[in-house]
């Protein structure tokens, strides 16, 4: 990580990364010298993609953003932030329900490491409703996820949910 620069950390599961995540990433990258996208293992959420795959998907999506990198982690968020030298944790807010959870997490993180600040970026109007869990469900049921994720993520999810041809056997009719 760059020394002497303000390092921000944007953590998440990114299962998969959405246009909402990308909006926060682009905006957060403007307020820090270097932004680390922390891809959390987060087995409690039972992610669809493994950590390595999610990190690779994020890396592919951020290609071209010069001051942004991707690192996966499996420890306490504030410990990871300290490990990478982050002074700021960036969190995105979509709705009031996000705020309640995020404010509690920020308070806990502050209590453990008061030198690390949490900043909140609100979702832009066009991304407020996008959630990875909804994207996965829409994709699983064959819906159109193009308004919510990049074309590459559309392909990734299509590959995941590709259904094998029907294996239903039809019994031949019998005559009495």
> What's the confidence (pLDDT) of residue 171?
46
What is the structure's pLDDT at 4? 65
> Is 132 among the residues known to form the active site?
yes
**For strand 7-12 and strand 88-93, is the pairing parallel, antiparallel, or unpaired?**
parallel
155 is an active site residue: no
Rg (CA), the chain: 20
- Whether 38 has a pLDDT exceeding 50, the answer reads yes
| In the chain, domain spans | 7-128
**Catalytic: which of 45, 52, 79, 146?**
45
- Give the integer Cα–Cα distance in Å for 6 and 133: 32
Q: Quick check: is 97 catalytic?
A: no
**Quick check: 97 pLDDT over 90?**
no
The active-site residue, picked from 6, 60, 82, 94, is 94
What are all long-range contacts of 41-50, with beta carbons under 8 Å and residues at least 24 apart?
A: 41/72, 41/73, 41/74, 42/13, 45/13, 45/15, 47/13, 47/15, 48/15, 48/16, 48/136, 48/160, 49/15, 49/16, 49/156, 49/160
Q: Residue 14: left if φ>0, alpha if ψ -120 to 50, beta else—which one?
A: left
- For the stretch 45-82, pLDDT in tens is 789 999 999 999 999 999 999 999 999 999 999 999 99
Instruction: Single out the catalytic residue among 34, 54, 72, 132.
Output: 132
Annotation marks residue 66 as catalytic: no
How far apart are the C-alpha atoms of 139 and 176, rounded to whole Å?
Answer: 46
pLDDT in tens, 155-173: 999 998 885 544 444 444 4
Residues in the chain: 176
- What's the pLDDT score for residue 63? 95
- What architecture is the 7-128 domain classified under in CATH? 3-Layer(aba) Sandwich (3.40)
The total of other beta-carbon atoms located within 10 Å of residue 102's CB is 15
d(CA 42, CA 50): 10
Taken in order 104, 43, 37, 76, the sign of the CA dihedral is positive
Exactly one of 21, 34, 91, 136 is catalytic; name it: 21
């Amino acid at each position: 990580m760059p020394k002497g620069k303000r390092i921000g950390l944007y953590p998440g599961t990114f299962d998969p990364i959405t246009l909402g995540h990308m909006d926060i990433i682009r905006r957060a990258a403007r307020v820090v010298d270097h932004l680390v996208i922390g891809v959390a293992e987060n087995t409690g959420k039972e992610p669809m993609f493994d950590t390595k795959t999610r990190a690779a998907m994020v890396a592919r999506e951020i290609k071209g953003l010069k001051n942004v990198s991707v690192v996966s982690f499996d420890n306490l968020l504030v410990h990871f932030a300290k490990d990478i030298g982050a002074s700021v944790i960036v969190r995105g807010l979509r709705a009031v329900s996000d705020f309640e959870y995020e404010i509690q997490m920020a308070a806990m993180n502050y209590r453990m490491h008061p030198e690390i600040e949490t900043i909140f970026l609100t979702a832009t109007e066009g991304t407020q409703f996008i959630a990875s869990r909804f994207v996965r469900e829409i994709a699983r049921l064959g819906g159109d996820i193009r308004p919510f994720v990049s074309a590459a993520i559309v392909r990734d999810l299509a590959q995941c949910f590709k259904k094998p041809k029907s294996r239903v056997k039809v019994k031949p009719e019998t005559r009495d």
